[in-house]
Amino acid sequence: MKLQAAITSSSFLVTLIMFQLPAAWYQMLQLAHAAQQSQQIQPGFYNITCPTAESIVTSAIRSAHDSDPTVTASLIRLQFHDCFVSGCDASILLTGSNSEQDQLPNLSVRGFDVIAAAKSTLELTCPRTVSCADIIALAARDAVAILGGPSYIVPTGRFDGASPGIVNLPSPNSTVPESMQFFTAVGLTTQDMVNLLGAHTVGSAQCQFFTDRLYNFLGTGQPDPSLNTTYLETLQATCPNKQATAAVNDTMMAVALDDGSQFNFDTSYFTNIQNNKGLLRIDAEIGSDPSTSAIVNTLAANANPSSLFDKSFVSSIVAMGEIGVLASGTVRTVCSDIATA
């Protein structure tokens, strides 16, 4: 603790140690990080131990977006798929036996390589310091901002989990009550659920996740009657009935979750729901269920630059980032390998 106090109180001493004894410096940083293990996550957790941590992650996300603009939305989704399974512990990044990546709800999750690239740079700059769990949270924040959404502060100081979890996530075909069971189980509210589903304002979904709505809704042999007729025809043209065609690969085709605004973080997702153009069943459900429809209408009606949705989304994604946080533990040096912790 005295060592940490010395590092905190004298920037001159820090500079001197960095210049003369780099190996000792890294050891000191690791000790300072260890001294914080019993603390809760907080903004600026790495200000002393790795001052450039957040900017390094931002640079990696911007580079990935420049190479593939579709991956940015996937990074927001990645945080959801991590935090809702055994907490925000980066267990989704682990490969090998029983990997979460190999379980059905995660087969279409992307962005693992982006997190790995950020981690590689961080290990060169601040070895064994920045957790993979924090990189996921920071990456989601940067992805939101790059897509035109709000900038917000991410509390950091998470540690990495020691094993993969059992993936049990709400289905895109869930009703509101079915989905709410997952959110209340982790301490989130109905408002949080609608706010976080608002992330569907960016990104896309494969045909396989909604073709039943186009051809055989709830086993009726007919399309979902709630779908906008013109929108239905557009979707059917992109996603043929997989039972009537041999082109199985058509189920892998992707459609924008937010029609007309796939790369813009805005409120058009909620407006589309009001116009019966919610792509997934859960999107449509929150527009019609009495417990959520008023929230959808309120968020859709406040579309100014500092919209209510921006503020609401930040509140909910920060709360989601606190699910099951490990306040003590290890930092993996390779995010996909538990042996590097």
Is 42:103 a contact under the CB 8 Å cutoff?
no
Tell me which residue of 194, 158, 195 sits closest to 330, measured CA to CA: 158
Structure pTM?
0.86
Tokens of 246: 């041999």
Instruction: Let me know: does 148 contact 264? Beta carbons within 8 Å.
Output: yes
Res 249: pLDDT? 52
CA distance 55 to 59: 6
Any idea what the Cα angle at residue 37 is, between residues 130 and 182, rounded to 5°?
Answer: 80
Whole-number Å distance between alpha carbons of 327 and 225 = 48
What residues contact 68, with CB distance under 8 A and at least 6 apart? none
The candidate with the shortest Cα–Cα distance to 118, out of 137, 95, 145, 96, is 137
Token pair in block for residue 213? 């709505």
Amino acid at 80: F
Respond yes or no: is residue 81 known to be catalytic.
Answer: yes
Residue of 33, 65, 81, 200 with catalytic role? 81
Residues in the chain: 341
pLDDT in tens, the chain (341 residues): 333 333 333 333 233 233 333 444 434 444 444 444 445 799 999 999 999 999 999 999 999 999 999 999 999 999 999 999 999 999 999 999 899 999 999 999 999 999 999 999 999 999 999 999 999 999 999 999 999 999 999 999 999 999 999 999 999 999 999 999 999 999 999 999 999 999 999 999 999 999 999 999 999 999 999 999 999 999 999 999 865 544 445 557 899 999 999 999 999 999 999 999 999 999 999 999 999 999 999 999 987 766 899 999 999 999 999 999 997 889 999 999 988 77
Q: What is the pLDDT of residue 40?
A: 76
pLDDT at 328: 83
CB half-sphere exposure, 185, CA atoms < 13 A: 14
